[in-house]
Structure 1
């Protein structure tokens, strides 16, 4: 895959690991922000440092001013202006730095999400055509939308708080060492205990719960989408109530999982408060003795204590970092599951030459989770050949159509296109040779012209009307308010089922594929209209191959070269 240099940094570590597989290391989630990631870290550290120092200087200033007021000599010599100005400077720095960090970090995250979406769509576009059918629409939507959005949790809410906390703790430890080494050793020991015990106690259960939450959210989205798609059927049959109860049960499970995550977050906050309180009392205890021994003044001790109080703002966000890490890892694993699977290989056969032919040699197979499917089907179709397939519902006619067009891998037998095994033909080449009219036709919320021109962007208007006339929709299209520029609703609302199927057929005919496989093309049409449409198709495919799957007993079927009846 070719990616522009300004879209992906060379050293991001994204897309490929050493074995050439798709990979998404956590480090790349930071580096893909570019310079904005580093700028956000610097501004965040500056803002938090200014906040802590503001509290420390304020405590020192109040204490020192109070002590200076006890004596007229010290009161006259004490400089009130410089500390006050420094406090105002720190307050302004804190506000500007934290505000700037929000702006810069969000800009970096938007850059990250842009590059991640390119990576994901690239991976999905290369997904093996046989594997793509294994994902439901709701599951893919969860991966493309919700899971991608969760990946910004790592740089923004998991990594940055630890970098800021570690940097400020080391800086404070160095200041303590300069003032009184014993306090520095005590503080560093407490911080190391906090940073070691907190992940050990909180991280494992949080990772388990957050991964489970991501998986449950994906299943719920798929279930809800399936429910909405079949809403009319569910309400007609009275099964909607049971479906709604199932959704409510899923919601309860997700809420219970969230409650457990929040409980662990509260436990982490309590542990941080305990550690900071213990460290604060140790600083007070040993710092008080140091003041009595005149190592430093009481005002300095108050400033050090205020720093400890200010560290609540620095360390408390650590309690949510484990949850952010868990969501990131769960989302990353689901995305890698989609893009690291069997990819569409670059086949050797990119051009199919010669007269069109399609050979089925003992084909057997069934769709995922299906109980039955076609068994031991053999047929040879050459230039000008026609095949009529019929059989009861559920016998596997649509399954056989998917196998003949390369969307489903046969479980047995072989399929050859122009004498070449179908699995050896490159995807783009196969689509130019074999066309499929599926039972589930899709019209996009665009104009009629845009829907048809998906197959041939440069199609002329007279060419479109010729095909619309051929399928019996020419007069209907001319009478539309805006003609071909009339907007269609979502999922083709505004047109009937039969019209939608014939519009999809026009779109397929624009591709001019030599082999056409039509699954129930006459659904919703009367026998006379269906026979006229069938005659047109036979005429257009006289130099190609026409395969029709239908349960209708049309007169034109008698003129087909082959008739295949499939039993359950």
Structure 2
């Protein structure tokens, strides 16, 4: 069946199956158990046919010999062996899927960040989730049925040939028709429908993630009806492609039935002639005619197996493309440079005339100069889409600058040893993932040695003291996938607690007050910037040291009210005389007080926030 695949699909399947790291002995045991289980069904049919025919010739039960016992043996062993085959095959496939998923994560972790960061969130989810599952399904739903069908077909044809050779040849020919011609016929028509279905599934996953993450923004902008209409069209296309993908399996089932009928009729004709000529005992005529009814049970699974082969090939192509892109990026990247020993003043992040943007894309912001050291507080403000998040990703070493100079203790952060860089600078993105595990383990993402006592303290500092007190199992409470069991504000505070748990002395934060009400967001930002501890009970600043003097903080925010304690505020935007589409730059910078006093635009924005809050 693999001959019907394209060269790219065959290459991707070989690579993906190799990454499954299948245990050959376990797979061979699964094939043996599956073949023996179906052989029991064939043996049951053969012995039962012989026994019925023999019983019609003699009334003596003794003449039947051990046939009744064999019927019971084959009847029981069929179910037992089938159950054992399911256990062995699924264990083999699940082990392989775990190995493949682990290897994919390892490859992506070693790759350049933009390899994954350039993908939409739904695409990443589909590739490391559904596509890995589809490759794993290849073992149970395609390779195993094919191997079992080959073993059983050869064994059954040989067994019937020992009884009467022409009958064995007819059975073998009909099994080939069902097991080769049928799948080859279905595999070509299944590819277009299945690959289209997978493409729509990826688009559907990406669209759903966009709706879930940006529902509020879509409603405010009035784009929610249009987005939901697009989602409905995708679902409609997905349903239609699923229907088309099911037709080849139905066609294979029809061909299987036709081949089985031809085998029964052919053996009946040649067997009756052999009985008439005295070359075959009458009792064996029932055997050669009825055995094909069970022999085709294995070939009946080859139609769905060919459809699964196409589905797994499409998943393997996308998965291997991602893996090879990551490997190429890792191979072309310079060797990681060790960071020098940190001095008494701590690490220093330095940017001079920095230009940022996505690799291969245009510069979105340029002319950025700043210094971040322990104890220094910087805030970057600007309109949405101006490049603030891209700037943070670049400062954290996740994206390579498109110009200018950027160093962490004299070494470019994107070229530094990752473990060393992570120990000196941390980034908490606005859409950072919350894992489907306990509260404590979500915080331990930043620090694996985090104790429950310190975790509780960090949650209280982040304003989640009351929330923690009402959790049914405290820190052991399990959160839903991506924090579906908590509100947007609670999710943001949980991410803040994780950021505070990181041991890095330099912290980069993207919109820490997002999804919080204005007053709470200002309190939170003020506490991060070291505004003091005179906060309301239970607020982020209560009895805290979340903004310890030894930690340097650079945060991105769209609100100005909480920036009084910032050492410097950098306003990222485009000059009034800049042409449309030109890169953003630092238009103004200074302390919050100076900007409020001397910059009319800054002062007006601040007054609007205060009026809105009042």
Normalising by structure 2, what TM-score? 0.74
1:242 maps to 226
Aligned ranges 1:132-531 → 2 under 5 Å: 132-235=116-219, 239-342=223-326, 347-355=335-343, 356-367=347-358, 373-379=364-370, 387-440=378-431, 454-458=445-449, 473=463, 480=469, 485=474, 491=483, 497=489, 504-505=495-496, 507-521=498-512, 524-525=518-519
Kept in 2: contact 1:514–1:541 (CA 8 A): no
Q: What SS does the aligned partner of 2:326 have? A: coil
Structure 1 residues 547 and 541 mapped into 2: Cα distance closer, same or farther (>3 Å)? farther
Q: Return 451-460 or 150-159, whichever deviates more.
A: 451-460
User: What is the rounded CA distance, in whole Å, between the counterparts of 2:36 and 2:369 in structure 1?
Assistant: 74
The counterpart of 2:55, out of the listed 65, 82, 100, is 65
| In structure 1, distance between residues paired with 2:546 and 2:83 | 70
**Distance in structure 1 (CA, Å) of the matches to 2:556 and 2:505:** 17
Q: Are the structure 2 counterparts of residues 479 and 440 from structure 1 closer, same or farther at C-alpha, using a change threshold of 3 Å? A: closer
In 2, distance between residues paired with 1:99 and 1:466?
Answer: 51
- Bigger Cα displacement from structure 2, 198-207 vs 514-523: 514-523
Deviation of residue 522 (structure 1)? Answer: 6.1
**Which range moves more in the overlay, 287-296 or 479-488?**
479-488
* Aligned partner of residue 423 in structure 2, secondary structure: helix
1:153, distance to aligned residue in structure 2 (A): 2.5
CA–CA distance in 2 between the matches of 1:519 and 1:208? 43
**How far is the alpha carbon of 1:295 from its aligned partner?**
0.9
Range 403-412 or range 32-41, more displaced: 32-41
> What is the deviation of 1:528?
7.9
Query: Matches of 1:278 and 1:509 in 2, distance apart?
Result: 73
- How far is 1:308 from its partner? 1.7
Q: Is the 8 A contact 1:395 1:566 kept in 2?
A: yes
Q: What is the CA-CA distance between 1:163 and the residue it aligns to?
A: 2.2
Task: Please give the per-residue CA displacement for 1:240-297, whole angstroms capped at 9, x wherever unaligned.
Answer: 4433332222222222212112211111122222223333333233322222221112
Q: How many residues align?
A: 538
Q: Distance in 1 between matches of 2:293 and 2:449?
A: 69
Residues 397 and 412 of structure 2 are in contact (CA less than 8 Å); yes or no, is this contact kept in structure 1? no
> What SS is found at the alignment partner of 1:393?
coil
Secondary structure of 2:366's match? coil
Q: Which moved more, 1:190-199 or 1:410-419?
A: 190-199
Distance 2:462 2:153 in 1: 77
Q: Which has the higher contact order (CA 8 A, sep 6+)?
A: 1
SS of equivalent to 1:410: coil
Q: Which runs of 5+ in 1 are unaligned?
A: 1-20, 70-74
TM-score, normalised to structure 1's length? 0.79
Q: Distance in 1 between matches of 2:382 and 2:19?
A: 54
Is contact 1:207–1:325 with CA below 8 Å preserved after alignment? no
Structure 2: 5+ residue stretches without partners:
1-11, 533-544, 575-583, 585-614
SS in structure 2 opposite 1:342? helix
- Give the C-alpha shift of residue 503 in structure 1: 5.9
Distance 2:82 2:566 in 1: 78
Report the CA distance between 1:566 and its aligned residue: 3.3
Give a deviation string over 1:62-120, Cα, whole Å, max 9, x none.
23333x25xxxxx6698134333332332223233223323333333343333334334
Residue range with higher mean Cα deviation, 215-224 or 481-490: 481-490
- Report the Cα distance in structure 1 between the residues aligned to 2:488 and 2:138, rounded to whole angstroms: 48
The alpha-carbon distance between structure 1 residues 164 and 387, as it changes in their structure 2 partners (threshold 3 A), is closer
1:433-470 superposed Cα distances (whole Å, 9 cap, x missing partner): 2233434466667777665555345557887788789x
Moved more, 248-257 or 381-390: 381-390
Query: What is the alpha-carbon distance in structure 2 between the residues aligned to residue 110 and residue 466 of structure 1?
Result: 40
Find the counterpart in structure 1 of residue 573 from structure 2. Answer: 566
**What's the counterpart of residue 41 of structure 1?**
31
Quick check: 1:95 aligned with 2:79? Answer: yes
Structure 1 residues 79 and 501 mapped into 2: Cα distance closer, same or farther (>3 Å)? closer
Q: CA deviation at 1:304?
A: 0.2
Matched residue, 1:534: 529
In the alignment, the residues of structure 2 paired with residue 448 and residue 409 of structure 1 have an alpha-carbon distance, to the nearest angstrom, of 33
- Tell me what 1:106 maps to: 90
Say which is worse superposed, 424-433 or 113-122, in terms of deviation: 113-122
- Rounded to whole Å, the distance in 2 between the matches of 1:529 and 1:228 is 25
Sort the Cα spacing of 1:466 and 1:22 in 2 relative to 1 into closer, same or farther, 3 A: farther
Distance (whole Å) between structure 1 residues aligned to residue 204 and residue 433 of structure 2: 24
What does the per-residue CA deviation read over 1:11-60, in whole Å, with 9 as the maximum and x for residues that have no partner?
A: xxxxxxxxxx997443675x725644333222221221121222222223
Q: C-alpha displacement at 1:136, in angstroms?
A: 3.0
Q: Is the 8 A contact 2:374 2:506 kept in 1?
A: no
Does the C-alpha gap of structure 1 residues 519 and 234 become closer, same or farther in structure 2, counting only changes over 3 Å?
closer
CA RMSD of aligned residues (A): 4.1
